[in-house]
Amino acid sequence: MRAFFGLIWLLTGAVSAQELPPPITDEDYLPVSRAEAELGQLLFYDPILSGNLNIACATCHHPDHGTADGIALAIGEGGIGLGPDRHVNPAQMPEKRIPRNAPALFNLGAREFNVLFHDGRLEQLADRVRTPLGADMAQGFASILSAQTMFPVLNRDEMAGSHRENEIGRAVRQGLITGPDGAWDLIARRVATFPAYAAMFSNVYPDRGAIEFTDISDAIAAFMAFEWRSDTAPFDAMLREERALQGDAARGLALFYGRAGCSGCHAGPFLTDHRFHAMGAAQIGPGKAETFESHYRDEGRFRVTGRAEDRFAFRTPSLRNVVLTAPYGHAGAEPDLARFVADHADPVAGLARFEADRVALPAFEAAQDFVVMHNPAETAAIAAAVVRTPIALDGEEVRQITAFLASLTDPVAKRGRLGIPDAVPSGLPVAGVEGQVKGISQ
CB 286 within 8 A of CB 72: no
**Nearest-10 crossing angle of helices 195-204, 213-227:** 80
Burial of 326 (0-12, 13-18, 19+ CB in 10 A): buried
CA dist., res. 94 & res. 313, Å (int)? 28
Q: What is the chain's Cα-based Rg? A: 22
Transcribe 128-196 into DSSP letters: SEE-TTGGGS-S--SSHHHHHHTTGGG-IIIII--TTT-HHHHHHHTT--SSTTSHHHHHHHHHHTSHH
Among 152, 161, 287, 335, binds ligand HEC (CB under 6 A): 152
Residue 328 found at the interface with ligand HEC (CB under 6 A): yes
Shortest spacing between CB 62 and ligand HEC, in angstroms: 10
Spell out, one character per residue from 275 to 314, where the chain touches ligand HEC: x when CB under 6 A holds, - when not. Answer: --x-x-x--------------------------------x
DSSP percent split of the chain into helix, strand, coil, nearest 5? 40, 5, 55
Centre a 10 Å sphere on the Cβ of residue 349 and count the other Cβ atoms it contains: 13
Residue 118 found at the interface with ligand HEC (CB under 6 A): yes
Shortest spacing between CB 3 and ligand HEC, in angstroms: 29
Of 192, 59, 301, give the one whose Cα is nearest residue 200.
Answer: 192
Residue 36 found at the interface with ligand HEC (CB under 6 A): no
Spell out, one character per residue from 392 to 431, where the chain touches ligand HEC: x when CB under 6 A holds, - when not. Answer: ---------x------------------------------
In terms of CB distance, is 7 or 111 closer to ligand HEC?
Answer: 111
CA dist., res. 277 & res. 300, Å (int)? 10
Among 82, 159, 172, 253, binds ligand HEC (CB under 6 A): 159
Shortest spacing between CB 2 and ligand HEC, in angstroms: 26
Residue 117 found at the interface with ligand HEC (CB under 6 A): yes
Centre a 10 Å sphere on the Cβ of residue 23 and count the other Cβ atoms it contains: 16
Residue 124 found at the interface with ligand HEC (CB under 6 A): no
Among 48, 245, 322, 408, binds ligand HEC (CB under 6 A): 322
In the window 209-248, what residues touch ligand HEC (CB under 6 A)?
220
CB 133 within 8 A of CB 148: no
In terms of CB distance, is 207 or 401 closer to ligand HEC?
Answer: 401
Rounded alpha-carbon distances, angstroms, from residue 63 to 33, 60, 419: 21, 10, 8
Residue 60 found at the interface with ligand HEC (CB under 6 A): yes
Contact positions vs ligand HEC (CB under 6 A): 49, 55, 57, 59-61, 74, 76, 98, 100, 102-103, 105, 108, 116-118, 145, 148-149, 152-153, 158-159, 220, 260-262, 264-266, 277, 279, 281, 314, 316-317, 319, 322, 325, 328-330, 340-341, 344-345, 388, 401
